[in-house]
Amino acid sequence: MTSTTIKKKKTPTNRVFDQIEACVDAVIEKVGTEIRLGIPLGAGKPNQFVNSLYQRAKTNPEIKLTIYTALTLEKPAGESLLEQRFMGPFAERVFEDYPDLDYEHDRTRGLLPSNVRVVEFYFPAGKYMHDQQAQRDYVSSNYTHIARDLIDQDINVIAQMVAKSEDGKHLSLSCNPDVTLDVMRAIRDRRSVFVAQVNNNLPYMYGDAVVPLDTFHFMIDNPVYDFKIFGPPKTSIPDVDFMIGLHASTLVKDGGELQIGIGSLSDALIYALLLRQLENPLYRELLERTEIDGKFGDIIARKGSRKVFEAGLFGASEMFVDGFMELIKEGILKRKVYDDVHIQRLLNEGLIRAEDIDIDTLYHLLRRGAIQPVLRSTDFDYLQHFGILRPELSYKDGYIYFPDDTKIEADLNNDHAHEVLIEQGLGRALQNGAIVHGGFFLGSNAFYDWLRQLPEEERRLIHMKSVKSINQLYGHEELDRLHRKDARFFNTCFVMTLLGAAASDALEDGRVVSGVGGQYNFVEMAHALPDGHSVLQLRSTRKSKGKVRSNIVWQYGHVTIPRHLRDIVITEYGIADIRGKTDEEVIKALIQIADSRFQPELIRKAKQAGKLSKDYQIPAQFAGNYPKRYEELLTKYKGDGYFPTFPFGTDLTDEELVLGKALTRLKAKTATTSGLISAILKALFMGKPTNQEEQLLERMQLDKTKGLMEWLYRKLLIAELR
């Protein structure tokens, strides 16, 4: 009897579905009814797949679904009647066919079923302040630890929206390789399933984001499921933020590295950097007239610059923000870095030039041990990858072959080979560099359009990576230290204590406003880099219940950044350089950039605690920190077209701009009982609206009113428009 070998039929490693329901069936069949689903933060969620899975759980209590995610986004709807009528047409126009997440709709209304739980590590700022369930299900963790935490929770389904290459052979994690890459690498051998939902509206991004098709077990690929990527509208930039951005822009060094976050403070910094580059004489005039030069010139001289950017900046930020788009367009974000220690070190030392390859490039790499004198196939591939050898060349058995069938020995000591290589073999410039490293992106519709329309060669300069490659030095420290020279990490906090601790994510009572995200990572990294700095941006005051309060306080019951990691703090009134300073020096520096309405009380408390000498008096030049001073100055420049409310455009129509300002003022005025009564009394005496007011009332569906409440809203709005 002869033996035979039975070959098992090979199971496809990637199943493609054109119907989401069929994919959900397959997921449940593979992992069972206890589903621990991980989906990306922000824009990378596969909404229809998540909705289908969630609806299964709603109708089948045997399914236990836990969703792990962050920054769940939904179209703005508004709370009050006025907000809803303002937001309705706006959201329909701007977000078009974006499908909201069903679990988010139910969660915000307290309707999540008992067999479904949503766990998040980062909230849209302020959204869940009064949602007790969301507050209980929040995870406080550094961004670099999220992959670890998800693995510890035994995640068994990873679902991600992806882009597909034109040839259909690869996928791109596009806007969200950040945590997905690290989690998938760690749990691939577990009983888990990875689901990709293709969206043809998603920009195809490069770097580590590009993965083979079989990275995912299941793929949903049907154009019917394409939807518009969530694009949060640009917010207006108030004067206070413009001033903070102007101060911050002086700390950025040419040839350095830049990290920023999202929001109006970051946009204000971008605007100031553009002024510095494109209108440098005006920029310097602003620094003089705002007294920034006079008060903080020594800090700027030591740690920053006022000059235009010649070498340019390299961007490495967990979030690739749309502000980077503006810096790329204007040639500020242009310094290329390379993922090779030898090449990057030679560039930093000025021994080779990225745009001018010659034989010295080869010999410097040889002396540093990057390649061998007799080139091996790995050496050849390395040189060709970075553009040092032309792409038309090939290598075989110790010889380099040219397109005309010429061949030479791959021996740099051979005179003939040496000569031919110089004349015919060298590339013109280094290849596969990057001007941006990003972990995820989220931005305006204009940003997404720009990314999609970028030529491939330029889009390849943006390397999307895992968050562990961006937010920390561990595992790639030698290379990162070369990339991140003169690094500046700009982040935001909302409270700063006089001893230098910052609160950025939660209130004293424990309620979470947003999340830690990557802030701690970048602050800690700044201290690990000899020429790096963490810069926390802070509005000096806030309005709460109709009263102005200081954001610089003696003490606070919650800390995101401990005081031993203090570095540089910026408010609209100036720059406090507090790294390595004594407690008294820190206190003095922070008082000097506080609003002068609160300086006496801060001084009193510091003296009472024995941390400030009894005879201290604030220098006269810092005693006039009032909004009126900078507001009057900026008003003069606004008359010439500078510091516009929306410097980078807006999705709002002209009517909506007028209505938005009126509604914002009305909401602030009616935040207190006395303010509400005053506004109503004033509104009752409003006469007939003008033709222009009538058009605005029609936009708000208040041209004709039904009932007393609509009549009162109409009166209030007319009063505020006037």
Q: Give the single-character DSSP code of 175.
A: T
Length of the chain: 722
User: Which residue reads 């940003």 in tokens?
Assistant: 447
Helices and strands of the chain, counted as H and E runs: 28, 26
Mean pLDDT score across all residues of the chain: 94
Quote the pLDDT of residue 13. 60
Which tens digit of pLDDT belongs to each residue from 615-673? 999 999 999 999 999 999 999 999 999 999 999 999 999 999 999 899 888 888 887 78
Rounded CA separation 553/598 (Å): 9
Rounded CA separation 219/198 (Å): 7
If one counts every other C-beta atom within 10 angstroms of the C-beta of residue 580, the result is 9
Residue type, 689: P
If one counts every other C-beta atom within 10 angstroms of the C-beta of residue 55, the result is 14
51 or 545: which leads in pLDDT:
51
Cβ neighbours of residue 19 under 8 Å, at least 6 residues apart? 222
Quote the pLDDT of residue 5. 37
Please name which of 137, 181, 184 lies closest in space to residue 156, comparing C-alpha atoms.
Answer: 184
Residue type, 199: N
Whether the CB-CB separation of 187 and 155 falls below 8 Å is answered with yes
Please name which of 434, 491, 432 lies closest in space to residue 464, comparing C-alpha atoms.
Answer: 434
560 by DSSP, 3-state: which? coil
Rounded CA separation 340/354 (Å): 13
Which tens digit of pLDDT belongs to each residue from 195-253? 999 999 999 999 999 999 999 999 999 999 999 999 998 889 999 999 999 999 999 99
Quote the pLDDT of residue 680. 86
If one counts every other C-beta atom within 10 angstroms of the C-beta of residue 168, the result is 9
Rounded CA separation 621/337 (Å): 43
Binned at pLDDT 50, 70 and 90, residue 710 comes out as confident
Quote the pLDDT of residue 626. 97
Q: Are strands 170-172 and 157-164 parallel, antiparallel or unpaired?
A: antiparallel
User: Which residue reads 């009113």 in tokens?
Assistant: 705
Whether the CB-CB separation of 549 and 495 falls below 8 Å is answered with no
Which tens digit of pLDDT belongs to each residue from 512-529? 999 999 999 999 999 999
Characterize 216-248 residue by residue with b for buried, 16 or more Cβ atoms within 10 angstroms of its Cβ, and e for exposed: bbbbbbeeebebebbbbbbebbbbbbbbbbbbb
Whether the CB-CB separation of 574 and 535 falls below 8 Å is answered with no
Whether the CB-CB separation of 113 and 61 falls below 8 Å is answered with yes
Quote the pLDDT of residue 88. 92
Quote the pLDDT of residue 678. 86
Structural domains of the chain in order of their starting residue, each with its CATH number: 15-225 (3.40.1080.10), 239-336+435-622 (3.40.1080.20), 341-425 (no CATH), 654-721 (no CATH)
